[in-house]
Chains A and B, each alone.
Chain A
């Protein structure tokens, strides 16, 4: 009831958004109403998760196709994702109250924002393929319109074009996938699909199409190409939703099909997903390190985190098929935990990028710097987010990655030799990605917030409105809380994964609250609660000690400035210089990164130039390759436009005779 009301509120708000015009208070009211509806959905999701495990009642509405009513249902999995989605949307809506007045054209954003929220929530509660796909397209098209909000920039227009094509491709794959699941009788409701028996070939195709369809939305390599173009092009609170939340809806689709509707995915697909996830994680973070654009960096980091979550999903599939249900539950819990975490800290980081862009007008790392002094709240919240995404304890990012590692360490207990050897390789990739992610965010935070301002705009940065600061602070606090009470989260998650893996699994069974000991107490245990408590206690004690015994005399002296002159901010360490060693090590062969130095002639006063050239191999060989093939084929087909009448007749005749021959030959057999 609550959910239905909130969803209809979104639709009504979209209409009001069209009428809002240029009056800013109306836009603020609409965002505030969005926030209320999101809060209602969040409460609805939490309430369902708090109940005993089970599926909610099916709601059937007489809308949609005439011979097929629309089915909706809220079960544990969708309730969990409803919580994930509406945490992000709530934050983005509250942030939007203050942010909308800083947009160049708020009229182009406000009407589509509630539609986007509606689409994402409707995907989660859909209980038949038709509603699922309609809502999925709703989500895609609304976000596409939001990407086009600043349509005067040609870069955004081409990003929107690529996004639209990839979205169409993804939906086409999902459509075919559901068609196969539904079978020849057209059983499009999810309960009917669960019972259907799939032949090996159909089952294989279903998984392939689901991975292609949902994976293209989530940003799995090599289908990620649209993501770093489209996510940064939208206004920042929408970027936060697309990166932090919409990718989770895509993963929801993947989990729904692979774990629930299909049910018997072979371990080979688990292995494939793990490899894809590992490659996605490593490539995503390497791309991120090379970026100078703050929002692009965050978008590539999303690609990395999706890879990490997909490793968890793949491992869960492999364990499930091998009968290791408890370990499957562990891997799935870890993957879901990572999705929750990523939705929070990525939303936070995108919102803070939005705050930086609002107050400076710059998103190039090379023109930022020294923002921590001008924007202390934003800076502190970003620091927490960056530490969380770098998986530093005691924050939430650490817990989920630690759990994924714990599950990976049990990989050698799988019966297949490929997995025994492959799982440690994926583990190594994950470790590499985690370490690179940390360096990526040290770079992003250090260059943007520390040091001296690198441009006038950065030096004159102003505080952002209160709602924006509050949102970021609350999200930062959530990062700490979710890291401090891991057991509570995993217990809630094990209720969600129970119907998917068929076993109830308590991650904390061995040692009890607040200790996480997923495998056994001797193999590894972790308690964020204890860590936070200890850390806080030590922090307070050391402050007291310093105050008690430290000298109170104020001394003034020049700090050692690393040879950096205050009046030349260019002499600071830059984003490019920070990433140079990693670029040389990892990207020379992978991305064909080349550096050329142009030295001026002796006596010439022109500055020396260092040019870096990086080639994206996937874009160049896969996407441009496809474009080239299409071009060649189109050229050939184009020739057919300029034939004579007689030739056209000849072609028709030849086709006719050929078809008749086929019929004749088939009859003889």
Chain B
């Protein structure tokens, strides 16, 4: 394996940072369609990151990963969600459980935490891996943060997908991750997407909204 040149390292860093920035953008959006577009952009950046890693690591199977990310995450999932939102006539603002300013601050704190955590742990690894892992972990935590600070089911799904993006980013930057893992992740995302879609229809049918707060009062096990 030839040593990675300074320029390719910087490009990799740039693309990874783009994925992370897209994560912040996701937190910032107030409109559902904007959230979906941002998500598509994040997936695009992820595909680029995978392709770049395939190039510099000389690992052709990562191109497949890039292709999967591009097709499933950047195209099929956003289009399907778009279609669902249109079809169901969902209210198109994002309902937040925590003000956007505070969410951003929490996000910055999470990024700081993951850098603080990953850099010492991976002291012996290559610089590229270290940076990428820190970025990937931040993306995962931001995805989780998005899931817990949004009421709407669609935004929760997007948060979940963003979390997956972080996982794939981590997978492509660590050398030797088998392709099988990435393919299975990609398909599980697709299956999850289908399931969510079905649930959206059911929820919508019953409650006329996708705001999950309304579900709570209908739970049979509540006493």
Task: Give residues in A with beta carbon < 8 Å to B.
Answer: 641-642, 644-646, 649-650, 652-653, 656-657, 660-661, 663-664, 667-668
**Contact between chains at A642 and B222 (CB < 8 Å):** yes
Do B117 and A664 touch (CB < 8 A)? yes
Residues of B within 8 A of A650 (CB): 148
Given contacts A653-B145, A653-B148, 20 further A-B contacts (CB under 8 A): A641-B221, A642-B222, A644-B213, A644-B216, A645-B212, A646-B148, A646-B212, A649-B144, A649-B147, A650-B148, A652-B144, A653-B144, A656-B144, A657-B113, A657-B141, A660-B113, A660-B117, A661-B113, A663-B117, A664-B117
Tell me the nearest residue of chain B to A646, going by C-beta. B148
Q: Report the number of A-B residue pairs with Cβ-Cβ less than 8 Å.
A: 44
A642 touches B219 (CB 8 A): yes
B121 at the interface (CB under 8 A from A): yes
22 A-B pairs (CB sep. < 8 Å): A641-B221, A642-B219, A642-B221, A644-B212, A644-B216, A645-B212, A646-B97, A646-B147, A646-B148, A649-B144, A649-B148, A653-B144, A656-B144, A657-B141, A660-B117, A663-B117, A663-B121, A664-B113, A664-B117, A667-B116, A667-B121, A668-B120
CA distance A644 to B218 in the complex (A): 11
A643 nearest CB neighbor, chain B only: B216
Chain B nearest CB from A339 CB (Å) reads 54
Proximity bits, B123-146, A CB within 8 Å = 1, else 0: 000000000000000000100110
- Given contacts A644-B212, A646-B151, A664 and B116 within 8 Å (CB-CB): yes
| Count class of interface residues, chain B | 20 to 34
Chain B residue at minimum C-beta to C-beta distance from A661: B113
Give Cα A661–Cα B222 distance, bound, in whole angstroms.
Answer: 34
Which residues of chain B from 171 to 223 have a CB within 8 Å of any chain A CB?
A: 212-213, 215-216, 219, 221-223
| B residues less than 8 Å from A656 (CB atoms) | 141, 144
Indicate if B167 sits at the interface (CB-CB under 8 A): no
A649 to B149, CA, bound (A): 10
Asked if B110 lies at the interface with its beta carbon under 8 angstroms from chain A, I say: yes
Closest to A645 in B: B212
Instruction: List the A side residues contacting B145 at CB < 8 Å.
Output: 653
Once the chains are docked, how many angstroms separate the CA of A652 from the CA of B143?
13
Residues of A within 8 A of B222 (CB): 642
What per-residue 1/0 map shows which CB atoms of B109-122 lie under 8 Å from chain A? 01001101100110
| Closest residue of A by beta carbon distance from B147 | A649
Alpha-carbon gap, A650 to B98, bound state (A)? 12
User: Measured between C-beta atoms, what is the minimum distance from B140 to chain A in Å?
Assistant: 10
Give the nearest-CB partner of B150 in chain A: A646
Tell me the smallest distance from the CB of A73 to a CB of chain B, in Å. 51
Q: How far is the CA of A650 from the CA of B121 in the complex (A)?
A: 26
Q: How far is B85's CA from A220's CA once the two chains are assembled, in angstroms?
A: 70
Of listed B114, B120, B148, residue having the most chain A CB within 10 A: B148
Contacts of A652 in B (CB 8 A): 144
Say yes or no: B120 contacts A667, CB within 8 Å: yes
Q: Chain B's nearest CB lies how many Å from the CB of A274?
A: 52
The docked-state distance in angstroms from the alpha carbon of A649 to that of B213 is 14
Cβ distance B137 to chain A, nearest Cβ, rounded Å:
9
Q: Which chain B residues lie closer than 8 Å to A649 at the CB level?
A: 144, 147-148
Complex-state Cα separation, A644 to B151, whole angstroms: 11
Query: Which residues does chain A contribute within 8 Å of B216, judged by CB atoms?
Result: 644
